Amino acid sequence: MARILISTLPLHGHIQQNSLLVKTLVARGNDVIWYTGKRFKAPVEATGATHVGMEGFDYDDRDMDSAFPERRHYDGIDKYKRDVKKIFMDAIPSYSEEMRRILDTFPAKVVISDMGYFGALPLVLTGEPKGLKFVGTGTVPMPLASPDVPPFGPGVAVHPGVDERERNIALHNQFQNEIFADVQDYLNQVLKEHGYPQTDVYWNDIAVLLNGLFIQFTIPSFEYPHSNLPSHIHFVGAMLPKGQTVNVADLPDWWHELDGDRPVVHVTQGTLDTGDLQRVIQPTIQALADKNVLIVVATGGKSKSDIDMVLPDNVRVEEYLPYAQFLPYVDVMITNGGYGGVQYALSNGVPLVVAGDTEDKPEVAQRVAFSGAGINLETGTPTVEQIREAVENILDNPQYRKRAKELREEYAQHDAANEASQLIEQFADDEDIKR
């Protein structure tokens, strides 16, 4: 078995999505160090890996605006670009140096990094330490630029059966040479200032193209089709635990209400975008307060009191929910579009209403619509009327449930953690990994 160093951004969703993979790698006999934020020591050690905390560039993802106060003054694409520069790219020197120190005493054969993590890039570009092999994990929709798909970021729609390549090529040219040219220049400036080689690879393609193996945590039907996908990219299904159980005593006291007497509507804003529950959660409650449905809210760690309204009788609120047990009862899930949560829903055959406009959320939302398993509201602040209409549409139109169930069957064909672990172990021994 191999020594493996995994390095991930200190973000709850990225830790959560990679945890099962790491746990499986350890269980299969690999020696794993996980380098990430200090606050994730307990969940990392629960996988069996050794935790090494970030020293020079760490932050608490539960309050990004406090960690990076300047971002409060930006919105839209300007905020997105600033986040990429100041949160992801400014961290490169610190992360790279700390990884090198780990590798001095832990001569790993494989380095795994998640999407958005640029800390391993100097190691890739310099080829030092020698013999290292690099793996990327796809914890957000695959951003690979191609004439077959529009640029990643704004959530440009893809229409099945329509030839949109001319449009896509024009948009890629605009994004790479105009809109995001300053981001590419910023990346190369950071690299140059610290003595690292620069790169011609577009910054948003780096995780996919510069790793020798790239593992996407979904199924092909949830991604846009590419006519010439590189052979080192593999889809392994949703990276989710199977057969996980919760003690009956630990279940909420309202659990018996999931008995099928009325449709169950679940709403969440994930675990990162929870600063303002009026964005999605409160409008959902208002939209469905007088409907014969059970509304189950997950606040993502916020207190019930943070919901600034009197709760109707058909609302149940928890900070977190045991998804493996809960989602099979859900008829519709309303979400801001967190990648992991969407994978969890679809792997349980739950159709979706997506309302997200931050980070990768617009791209997730468009893929939900493209897959036919849900509705994209194309906003992060939906109105009460938009939510009510979308939920009624899904409950009344069996096509959404049918398509979600078809995707569930495709997810069920995969054992993501073992498939990914096998690919990584094979890659450690043989660089010629094929699809």
Q: What distances in angstroms separate CA 224 from CA 49, 160, 434, one per listed residue?
A: 34, 9, 20
Q: Among all chains, which residue has been given the structure tokens 């570009």?
A: 125
The 10s digit of each residue's pLDDT in 302-359 is: 777 778 888 999 999 998 899 989 999 999 999 999 998 999 999 999 999 999 988 8
Report the pLDDT averaged over residues 239-260.
81
Among 127-131, 195-199, 225-229, the range of highest mean pLDDT: 195-199
90 closest CA partner among 54, 117, 113: 117
Q: Helices in 58-155 by DSSP H: which ranges?
A: 64-67, 76-83, 92-105, 121-126
Amino acid letter at 392?
Answer: E
**Bond from prior residue into 197 cis (ω within 30 degrees of 0):** no
Query: Cβ(294)–Cβ(263) under 8 Å?
Result: yes
Report the pLDDT averaged over residues 381-402.
97
Average of per-residue pLDDT values in the chain? 92
213 closest CA partner among 48, 63, 429: 429
Q: Give this prediction's pTM.
A: 0.91
- For residue 114 the two structure tokens come to 């998640």
Name the strand (E) or helix (H) holding 392.
Answer: helix 384-396
Sort strands 233-235 and 110-114 into parallel, antiparallel or unpaired: unpaired
Q: How far is CA 181 from the centre of its chain?
A: 25
The 10s digit of each residue's pLDDT in 89-117 is: 999 999 999 999 999 999 999 999 999 99
pLDDT for residue 265 is more than 60: yes
- For residue 23 the two structure tokens come to 């746990």
123 closest CA partner among 53, 194, 185: 194
Q: Would you say the CATH fold of 248-412 matches that of 3-241+415-429? A: yes
Sort strands 374-376 and 31-36 into parallel, antiparallel or unpaired: unpaired
pLDDT for residue 174 is more than 80: yes
Report the pLDDT averaged over residues 215-223.
96
Report pLDDT for 223: 95
Among left, alpha and beta (phi > 0; psi -120 to 50; other), residue 56 is alpha
pLDDT for residue 434 is more than 50: no
pLDDT for residue 244 is more than 80: no
pLDDT for residue 432 is more than 90: no
DSSP code of residue 28: T
Nearest-angstrom CA–CA distance, 48 and 334 = 34
Q: What distances in angstroms separate CA 163 from CA 26, 132, 148, 157, 341, one per listed residue?
A: 45, 41, 8, 12, 31
SS3 of residue 3 by DSSP? strand
The 10s digit of each residue's pLDDT in 66-83 is: 999 998 898 888 988 999
23 closest CA partner among 39, 34, 12: 34
pLDDT for residue 238 is more than 90: yes
Q: How confident is the model at residue 158 (pLDDT cuts 50, 70, 90)?
A: very high
Rg (C-alpha) for the chain, rounded Å, is 21
Which of 243 and 153 is assigned the larger pLDDT? 153
CB atoms within 10 A of CB 209: 17
Query: Cβ(108)–Cβ(427) under 8 Å?
Result: no
Domain ranges of the chain: 3-241+415-429, 248-412
CATH code assigned to 3-241+415-429: 3.40.50.2000
Report pLDDT for 308: 80
Q: How confident is the model at residue 433 (pLDDT cuts 50, 70, 90)?
A: very low
* Burial of 82 from C-beta contacts in 10 A (0-12 / 13-18 / 19+): middle
CATH code assigned to 248-412: 3.40.50.2000
